[in-house]
Amino acid sequence: MGYTLDDVTRIVLEAKERAHQETGNEPEPEFTSTVEWPIECTVGPGLEGAIACETKIGYVNGKKGWLIYRGYDIFDLCAYSTFEETSFLLLHGRLPSETELDLFCRTLRRRMFIPKTQRSLLSFAVEERNPMDALRLGTNLMRQKQIRPGALNAGITGETVASDEDSIPMETKPTGWKKPVYEFLERLFRPVQDVEPSADAMPDDVESFYNLIAGVAAVSATIGRARQGRMPLEPLPDLGFAGNYLYMLTGRRPSPLEERVMDICLILHADHGMNASTFASMVVASTLSDIYLAIGAGISALSGPLHGGANVEVVNMLEEIGSPEAVPKWYKMAVAEKRKVMGFGHRVYKAYDPRARILAPLAEMLADESPELVSIYATARALETEVVSALGEEKKIFPNVDFYSGIVYRSMGIPADMYTTIFAVARVSGWCARVAEYLEHNRIFRPRAIYTGTFDEQYKPADER
């Protein structure tokens, strides 16, 4: 059945209707209020329940299964917005005007051009590396001195020795420029004035945030291409962020439906409260380290299978199960082995993850269009029924964002080992927004541990032990 973009919007709004019917609308009072520090909170291992800071960026209602970015319901953003617009919202705290959005989209597209220097560095290191490891490496190579309008031109006026035809300034200018400098700018250098962020822009790092949102996507796509032994691709002028990311990663121009679904996936993965990778980025940034290293820390944390790495594990698990009929036997064995079922459960959600509420029907729509997805989608649905009937009521274990996302990515021809990098491509917006907000009233993160060791041990030389 040929689905249209209107069908996608309808599917998202139907999911919203179901969610609001099942959950009701009152926020959790203990996590939404004005804050008078210091505050009392009950803290469990892994800082469970700890309040790290206050924020206006996003709210996760674990009891109801709600997700809100800057006051906007995630269902509405998926139905009507784009990843670029949502990223601007997360970073700047409001939806952009038409002009601002146009400039922001052009800025991101311009910075998705990977300089040749970077390409050779990346393809050399990427061959056998774990893609998230390569992404962290590529991001750390994206160190960027704060570029002021005019500084770039100054760089081109001969002071900087261009290292190749992209006229990328050398690591350091002959005058010993403090930080290595790589610009992710279009081949034909144009002054950045016309894309200067809006007047009420965030602190100086806004330039780096824009570079990172665009650059991490470009680096991720370059890694995907290098792993297939192919050359990197440059963004196309008539595609948006999601479309260009898909094109640069798969080498194929996406259909309008694929571009729209990827756009929604990126919106869904953009921000999610104080999750491990966001917290990791904020901890590194709170020491006033470099924003690129802070985002590298987020990428490192996200790569674990308990966090962003679960989406790959889910697809491997569904392949292992093989068919819906095999689910009951597989699940019985998993319980006996005390295995955690990948794609289920959540530290905060004790209800259905709203992101899974959107991804499941989108996966169903894509399975309806692609016969090779029918079996894996049916297996996923059967496993969901099995796990939720066993653990839903008792342990509040439901599907999370990672359970259906892999099926969606598979429909687009994306290799499974690249799925977690897609999560990172989206989450860079949330990491940057949270870091920027925290740095406005920075306080280095320094929790404590309860010492349960001994005291008064007497030292003995090695030959007396």
Active-site position among 200, 402, 417, 463:
402
Active-site position among 20, 290, 307, 417:
307
- The verdict on whether 402 is a catalytic residue reads yes
Determine phi and psi for 68, rounding to 5 degrees: -130, 130
Among the listed residues 213, 205, 155, the one whose alpha carbon sits nearest the alpha carbon of residue 184: 213
What percentage of the chain's residues is helix, strand, coil (to nearest 5)?
Answer: 55, 5, 40
The total of other beta-carbon atoms located within 10 Å of residue 208's CB is 25
Determine phi and psi for 61, rounding to 5 degrees: -95, 100
C-beta of 294 vs 348, nearer to ligand SDX: 348
C-beta of 134 vs 348, nearer to ligand SDX: 348
Relative to beta strand 58-61, strand 72-73 is unpaired
Taking the complex as a whole, the smallest distance from the CB of residue 117 to ligand SDX amounts, in Å, to: 33
Binding site for ligand SDX (CB under 6 A): 272-273, 275, 306-307, 310, 340-348, 395, 397, 400-402
- Residues 406 and 193: their CA atoms lie apart, in Å, by 40
Taking the complex as a whole, the smallest distance from the CB of residue 426 to ligand SDX amounts, in Å, to: 9
- Residues 135 and 114: their CA atoms lie apart, in Å, by 13
Active-site position among 205, 271, 346, 353:
346
Taking the complex as a whole, the smallest distance from the CB of residue 348 to ligand SDX amounts, in Å, to: 6
C-beta of 257 vs 317, nearer to ligand SDX: 317
Q: Which residues partner with 60 through β-bridges?
A: 67
Taking the complex as a whole, the smallest distance from the CB of residue 16 to ligand SDX amounts, in Å, to: 19
C-beta of 250 vs 277, nearer to ligand SDX: 277
How far apart, in Å, are the Cα atoms of 154 and each of 80, 149, 160, 209? 42, 9, 8, 22
C-beta of 46 vs 371, nearer to ligand SDX: 46
The long-range contacts involving 19-27, CB below 8 angstroms and separated by at least 24 positions, are 19/65, 19/66, 19/75, 19/352, 19/354, 19/357, 22/352, 23/64, 23/65, 23/66, 23/351, 24/64, 25/64, 26/64, 27/59, 27/61, 27/66
Query: What's the N-to-C CA distance of the chain in angstroms?
Result: 76
Q: Element (H or E) spanning 69, and its range?
A: strand 66-69
C-beta of 113 vs 431, nearer to ligand SDX: 431
- Residues 426 and 265: their CA atoms lie apart, in Å, by 8
Are 260 and 270 spatial neighbours (Cβ–Cβ below 8 Å)? no
C-beta of 167 vs 385, nearer to ligand SDX: 385
Q: Angle CA(91)–CA(94)–CA(96) in degrees, nearest 5?
A: 90
Taking the complex as a whole, the smallest distance from the CB of residue 395 to ligand SDX amounts, in Å, to: 5
Taking the complex as a whole, the smallest distance from the CB of residue 275 to ligand SDX amounts, in Å, to: 3
Residue 379, Cα to own-chain centre: how many angstroms? 26
> 167: which 2 tokens?
């006229």
Q: Angle CA(335)–CA(308)–CA(427) in degrees, nearest 5?
A: 150
Taking the complex as a whole, the smallest distance from the CB of residue 400 to ligand SDX amounts, in Å, to: 4
Q: Angle CA(361)–CA(364)–CA(365) in degrees, nearest 5?
A: 90
DSSP 49-68: T------SSEEEETTTTEEE
C-beta of 77 vs 114, nearer to ligand SDX: 77
Taking the complex as a whole, the smallest distance from the CB of residue 196 to ligand SDX amounts, in Å, to: 32
* Residues assigned a catalytic role: 307, 346, 402
